[in-house]
Structure formats: structure tokens, C-alpha cells
Amino acid sequence: MSANGSSIVVGILALQGAFVEHEAALRRLNLSKRLDIVLVRTPEELGRCHALVIPGGESTTIALLARLSGLLEPLRKFVVEKPVWGTCAGAILLAQTVENTKKGGQEVLGGMSISIARNGWGSQVSYYTYYILPDTYGSATQVESFEADLTVTGLTDPEIPFQGVFIRAPVVVELKPTPTDPPIQVVASLSPSLLPPALASPDHSNEPKIFVALRQGNHFLTTFHPELTQDDRFHDYFIRECVISQVANGNASPQS
Ligand SMILES: NC(=O)CC[C@H](N)C(=O)O
């Protein structure tokens, strides 16, 4: 419950991408009786929210649609004040800097002191390059999407691995918090030995784990898609750890 006893309003940015799946996952939580879920398409709808989920989809498109809907600047202000979870394309939008952007660059909201590479596992290949020119484009460029078990910490039942669904996912390339930023906490990582063969190098022994879920203050990112599984532990984590505690402390009131 929020400080004044009313329910907590969690928005899901619904301009493009997997917002319906996030809505279903949030409604499945036992906590959902206390949550009011809003699909956000206008600044007014954003203004009602205590917290926001930015879904996966296509980051450049989401940023463009946000600009066209008059949401880009309100979102930037929201990120400074309230809890936000970005999945995949949403994680790209939450990063401070983005590598491998489309020509023309990538607008970001910021919020997390990291650098992220778009399409970090390979770029989306067109029908032409995939089917007509397979010899020119090697197998590695075709493994832009895969599933792998993740090691999780801080979730309920941490001994149970989480099935990570990576769809043309970004890769976190650098954590760069300044001394005054909140520390960055690793919530899930991917062992290089669990990557599909075309992405794995022959010897993983010296390779560091790949960070795929990070929390910084009340912001959270996952480079994969928890909403495409029936395992709702990441949704539960965000609501419990990043939202309920913040709202209870009075740190995330809706904008006036
Ligand atoms: N599944 C996803 O959200 C993919 C992200 C996409 N590659 C992008 O650049 O935004």
C-alpha cells in the first residue's frame, strides 16, 4: 500500500513491444490485489504512476514513438524520480550510453550508470542475408536469439535457475557508477559455458560472467524477457524490492 493507503499504480509503457505479457505477469503476482496496472501511452497516464515497466521491443522505435507522443521528456523526468524496470529494449533505454546504435543514434532516458551494446549477440539478419546469402553471413550472426539458464541472486528460490529468453538482446559492456551514484547490484548472470555453441568460445575458464539483470537504487534492468516465461520471480523482485519499499518510504509519489 502507498503511504496514504491507496493502491500502488504501476505503469507499463505500451507504445510497442511485449507490454501485454508484462501486464499478464504482474496480474499473476499474489501482490497484484495491491497493484493498479496502467498501460501508459500519454503523459497523463504516466503522471498517475508510482513506477514504470519499459518492455522489450525495439528501442529506437520506442524512443521515436515516445517523442511523437510527447512522452520522451516526461519519461526522462520520471526516471530521475521513480522506480523503473527496463527489459531488453527497455534496458537499452535505461542505460547511460549505448553502443552499436542504428544510424542516427539512440535516444536514451538514462537512469542506470552502465554502457550497453544493442544487438550484443548479433544483429537481426534480414530474410535476404539469412536465406539467400548464408555463406556470406556466418553462423554467429544468426545466433542473435537463444535461451540459457541464469544464475540468480536475491530472488525467491535462488537455487532454482531462471530460464533466460534472449531475443536480439543487448549486452552490458561496462558498469560505470560514480562515487555518488547508488551501487550497482548483480541480480542475475549468465555463465559463458551455457551459451549456445555458435556464441561460445572454446575455452571459457577465464571468461567473466555476463551480467544480465542489474539493480541500481530503485532502477532495474534485465537484458532478457522474463515476461515470456511463466516464472514471475523477476516481476515479484521489482515490485517488492524496487517499488513497494520506495512507495512505503514516500519516495515515489505520482507527479502532480
Ligand atoms: N527483444 C528486444 O527487446 C530486442 C531489442 C532490440 N534489439 C533493440 O535494439 O531495441
Residue 200 in this model has a pLDDT that exceeds 90: no
pLDDT in tens, 139-152: 444 567 889 999 99
- Please indicate if the annotation marks 59 as binding a ligand: yes
Which residues line ligand 1 at a C-beta cut-off of 6 Å?
56-59, 88-89, 92, 118-119, 167-168
pLDDT in tens, 148-175: 999 998 898 989 999 999 998 999 999 9
Number of domains making up the chain: 1
Q: d(Cα 228, Cα 22) in Å, to the nearest integer?
A: 8
Nearest atom in ligand 1 to the alpha carbon of residue 87 is: 3
- How sure is the predictor about 103, in pLDDT bands with cuts at 50, 70 and 90? confident
Interface predicted TM-score (ipTM) over 0.90: yes
Q: What is the pTM of this model?
A: 0.88
Instruction: Check residue 240 and give left, alpha or beta (phi > 0: left; psi -120 to 50: alpha).
Output: alpha
- How sure is the predictor about 247, in pLDDT bands with cuts at 50, 70 and 90? confident
Q: d(Cα 120, Cα 105) in Å, to the nearest integer?
A: 16
Where residue 21 sits, what CATH number does that domain have? 3.40.50.880
Residue-number span of the structural domain to which 133 is assigned: 8-248
Task: List phi, psi (to 5°) of 122.
Answer: 130, 150
Residue 116 lies in a domain: yes
Average pLDDT, the chain: 86
- How sure is the predictor about 246, in pLDDT bands with cuts at 50, 70 and 90? confident
- Pull the grid cell for residue 35: 497493484
Residue 254 lies in a domain: no
Residue 67 in this model has a pLDDT that exceeds 70: yes
- How sure is the predictor about 256, in pLDDT bands with cuts at 50, 70 and 90? very low
Residue 240 lies in a domain: yes
- Please indicate if the annotation marks 168 as binding a ligand: yes
Q: d(Cα 11, Cα 84) in Å, to the nearest integer?
A: 9
Residue 170 lies in a domain: yes
Residue 222 lies in a domain: yes
Residue 80 lies in a domain: yes
- Pull the grid cell for residue 137: 553471413
Residue 124 lies in a domain: yes
Residues annotated as part of the active site: 88, 225, 227
Residue 255 lies in a domain: no
